[in-house]
Chain A
Amino acid sequence: MKTISKIHQSSMWIICLLTLSVFSGCETLDYRAVQAQFEVAAQADNNLSPSVFTEGSVFTDPGYQPVLDQLTDEFIAGLDSDLRANAWLLRGISEWRSMELTDALESANRGLESNPQEGSRDHVLLELLPALLFDSEIAIEVRNLNNGLSLDAYAQVKTKYESAFAKVEDAMDAFGPGTPASTQFYVHYHRWRMLQNWQQIIVDLDANGQQRAAQMREAASIFESATLDDEAEKAMLAIPPSQPLRQLIDAKKSS
């Protein structure tokens, strides 16, 4: 009797221990569910047309709202400190893709304030996120115009892009020995993408060819390249040809 009782007691203790441990990781498990939901949204986002000027534009909601509904301030505050940067990143990206640009900027800042591991994916992408926001902000402004920007109006756009690429520079400065290669490629991809968008704005300027060509050269003055296209080429070449992001770029160039 005493033996059975001892075994029973041991089992009870084990069950209690396990229960305790389970209850202490619930927030993390919930967060994993949010991450999964984010991935679904991102996948759907990438499957939509990338062009704002065609139907099925990403300006329609790709499905990040459930993620945003979950990642409240309180929820993030309740996460382990090591997860908060990641959470702010997912929230910031979700807000970006939902065109809640101001909120996304705040999320990026709060994410950086939560001390992500230096050189980690989350750190690098939190540095990058403001640049992506500026690019989207410009796109919204330009989309609302019937014709190309005037040279005067373009001046402000140029300033914004300069700020955006300063942020990109910050993201690249955050690269460290521990930065995954895939993260670096992701940064270079957005570099290339944003440079294409910037060039398109210049091509569409309400000005003659020589004036637009001059703007192309002028825009490149913040880089160590003669033209924006040269800089875009550098960004593309920073991604190995075998990488999917590079293959995507190659496909865009040849389509």
Chain B
Amino acid sequence: MIASESVIFAIQAGIKLGNKINRVLIDSSRERPLVLPLGDLFANVQEIDAFNYFHLDNPELVDPGGPYHGFSDAELVKAYRTILSIREEVGDIEGIGKTAEEIVMNLHRFEQVKAEFGSKPAVQRILGVVVEIGIDYFVANPDRLEGDSDGKKILAAFIKELDEIEFSEATPKTLISDVMLASLRTLNKNATLIDDDKRTTALIAGITQSLIGDYEELTSPSARDQRGELIRRIATSVIKGGAGAFNENIELFLRDDPQAKALVSSTLSQVISGLESKADLFSNESVELIYKSALTAVGEHPDLFTSNELLQDLIGNTVKALSVGNPRTVFGSETLSAIVQSGIQAVAENVDVLIDPEDPQNELLANIVRSVAHGLSNTLAGGGTVRDLLSKKQRADMMRIVFNEVAKSPEHLLAGIDDDARRSTLAQVIGSVARALGEDPGKLVTGEGFLELLKITLNTAVFNADKLLKLDSQSVGTNIVFKVLQQISTAVLEHSDPRQLVSRSVFLMIVEKALPVVSSNLDGILEGGDQQIKAVISKVLDLANDTLDNRVNGANLPDLAEAFLKRVLRGELNLNEDGATLNAATEILNAA
């Protein structure tokens, strides 16, 4: 029999147990982790971010005038993504968001600037090209675009000038590139110039105007093509030349000079016009030097050179002269650029002397070239091979010497040049020297020696041209200077000179001393006959190789010859009297 207490206990226990288990179950159910729904996100988060970015945080970007004014919400989302990309590209540092906005605002301003040229799509394109080139350059040279850098100044000057040029849609990108990059690369090294904004601007603006502006004015495709090639080649050189002129002539193109740009531009235009016909013969270095000299000349005498095309003519006519006839034969095409350069340099350094403002001779340099060429031609120089003696450099140096000598005494050396170049003083002197050296001038002079001889002769002739030269005849044979040189040459060549005292340098010393003596004792020449000089030199050589071989050497032989020449030409010494001759020589040597 089951006890009632047991049943009741069992029931109570069961209830307690059940309650306990149930409580555990309930608690675990109540606290059971649940997956909960995330709900609905109707928003386009990026669209909201874009809206807040533009309308709340940066309203200037969407306000009237801002780069994103008038954009739809969808377009703003795209723009926002772009700005996020810019931020990512620039770097995620504090405050960089502003930099991204600055970039956008500046790009927008740039687009507005371009848009201002709405009717000039060519200009818009050029601006784009400038940016493109600038990016390439400054990516490679990032330090040159920082702060108030030289690069920025140069670029600013270049861009400013572009505003003044009427571009065509056919303007090649490379043209802009070459001028712009030449400016950036070259002027970077000119710290003094760059520090002066106005002079930098004048230089770059003037050169850009000339190079690109003149290009734009050409109408034929072939002319444009040719000019484009030239610009590509010389852009750096002209900028270097211009910078050189500015740097070496601080007083030129003063910073407030409103004419500066125009002078720089017109000078370059004239230079290019002058040399263009033979542009391929002009090295970059010679273009640089020509422009530098030309700019210096123009800077010092602006009125003289800008009221006409004198510079262009000087260069152009010289180029022409060197390209045909005797000059072409004598000088060849290889020396053309160097000759033009030295000519312009001489003009630049001696404008007051060489250029008459009332009657500027635009054939001046050309006439000089022709005169020299005539002087060396067969007509005047005879069958000798003086030309062959001279290297290309020496031929160019010869012209430099001639230009400088002409600059010292233009009235004398240029006399007769306009009438007949062959009868000019210059041609006659050079011809006299060349012909006097005979068939084999190499026995007497080297190339350098010839140039020295030329200089000596010019220096002497210039002081007594009317006596030493006969300009009424083309033939140099009638010139006293020719006779003197010829007699000295013959004496030296015909004498055996066993001691070999008369080297090429001694020969030059003899001439250098003899010419002035002759020039100041012409009666002796005229009365004593043609061969006196030869006789004197021969006699001196006899003494040097015989009786006075212990007293005379290569160093004092020219002095002895000079002294003998003086006495003989003055009638103070008779060469036929051996005793008197010996005594005179001894006396001269003792007095030295």
Contact = CB atoms under 8 A, between A and B. Distances in A.
Contact of B37 (A23, A29, A97): A97
Given A20-B18, A50-B40, A252-B41, A28 B55 contact: no
Interface string B2-41: 1000100011011101111110011101101111111111
Nearest to B54: A209
Contacts of B19: 21, 24
Interface in B214-239: none
B73 interface: yes
B22 A51 contact: no
Contact of A51 (B6, B15, B30, B42): B42
A212 B29 contact: no
B56 A21 contact: no
Contacts of B41: 50-51, 193, 196-197, 252
B35 A82 contact: no
B232 to A, nearest CB: 49
A82 B18 contact: no
A142 B56 CA distance: 24
B43 A213 contact: no
A103 B490 CA distance: 137
Interface string B39-55: 11111111111011011
Nearest to A94: B37
A1 to B, nearest CB: 15
Given A22-B18, A203-B48, A216-B56, A83 B26 contact: yes
A52 interface: yes
Contact of A213 (B20, B36, B49, B56): B56
A227 B55 CA distance: 12
A28 B25 contact: yes
Given A21-B17, A39-B35, A217 B56 contact: yes
Interface string A48-81: 0011110001100010000000000000000010
Contacts of B35: 39, 42-43, 46
Contacts of B17: 17-18, 20-21
A206 interface: no
A234 interface: no
A50 B39 contact: yes
Contacts of B47: 200, 203
A15 B11 CA distance: 12
A35 B34 contact: yes
Contacts of A24: 15, 18-19, 22
A148 B47 CA distance: 15
A72 to B, nearest CB: 18
A255 B10 CA distance: 65
Give the interface size class of chain A.
35 or more
Contact of B55 (A142, A193, A216): A216
Given A20-B11, A46-B38, A212 B51 contact: yes
Contacts of A109: none
Interface in A2-36: 9, 13, 16-18, 20-25, 28-29, 31-32, 35
B48 A199 contact: yes
Contact of B30 (A83, A96, A199, A200): A83
A252 B37 contact: no
Contact of A200 (B25, B27, B34, B42): B42
B417 to A, nearest CB: 82
A186 B29 contact: no
Given A32-B32, A42-B37, A25 B27 contact: no
B13 A25 contact: no
A125 B55 CA distance: 35
Which of B14, B15, B32, B41 is the most central at the interface, judged by chain A CB atoms within 10 Å of its CB? B41
A227 B40 contact: no
Interface in A209-255: 209-210, 212-213, 216-217, 227, 229, 248, 252-253, 255
A93 interface: yes
B493 interface: no
A122 interface: yes
A25 B38 contact: no
B128 interface: no
Given A80-B26, A86-B29, A52 B42 contact: yes
Interface string B41-83: 1111111110110111001001000000000010000000000
Contacts of B42: 51-53, 139, 142, 196-197, 200
A28 B39 CA distance: 28
Interface of A: 9, 13, 16-18, 20-25, 28-29, 31-32, 35, 38-39, 42-43, 45-46, 50-53, 57-58, 62, 80, 82-83, 85-86, 90, 93, 96-97, 122, 125, 132, 135-136, 139, 142, 182, 186, 189-190, 193, 196-197, 199-200, 203, 209-210, 212-213, 216-217, 227, 229, 248, 252-253, 255
30 contacts: A13-B10, A16-B10, A18-B17, A20-B15, A21-B21, A23-B18, A24-B22, A25-B18, A25-B21, A28-B29, A38-B34, A45-B37, A50-B41, A51-B42, A52-B42, A82-B26, A83-B30, A86-B29, A86-B30, A193-B40, A197-B43, A199-B48, A199-B52, A200-B47, A200-B48, A210-B55, A210-B59, A216-B56, A229-B56, A252-B41
Q: Which 8 A-B pairs have the closest CB atoms?
A: A21-B18, A200-B43, A20-B14, A196-B43, A17-B14, A213-B55, A24-B18, A25-B22
Interface of B: 2, 6, 10-11, 13-15, 17-22, 25-27, 29-30, 32-49, 51-52, 54-56, 59, 62, 73
